[in-house]
Amino acid sequence: MSTHRLVDPKLIEQARKLSGKRTKKAAITLALQEFIARRRQKSLLDLIGKLKWNGSYNYKSERKRD
């Protein structure tokens, strides 16, 4: 069974128009890729304030080439 039959046709059509994709499949694929990317970004943002920062770390010293 086609997955797009399970999704509201109005949503698919809006996604297709906004994305500029010609097919429903392409619009759904892009929407899922963007959803996944956004959730991954959000999970990184959720780490703010939870990681310990070493204030004495010198990032410039790591850039030096031998």
Residue-wise pLDDT for 36-53, tens only, equals 999 999 988 888 888 788
Q: Token pair for residue 32?
A: 């899922």
Residue-wise pLDDT for 7-45, tens only, equals 899 999 999 999 999 999 999 999 999 999 999 999 888
Mean pLDDT of 1-6: 69
pTM attached to this predicted model: 0.64
Name which of 40, 41, 15 is nearest 30 in CA terms: 15
Q: For residue 42, is it within any domain?
A: yes
Q: For residue 66, is it within any domain?
A: no
Q: For residue 60, is it within any domain?
A: no
Which of 15-44 are b and which e, b meaning 16 or more Cβ less than 10 Å from the residue's Cβ?
Answer: bbeeeebeebeebbebbeeeeeeeeeeeee
Q: Tell me how many domains the chain contains.
A: 1
- Domain housing 12: 3-47
Q: For residue 53, is it within any domain?
A: no
Q: What is the pLDDT of residue 4?
A: 63
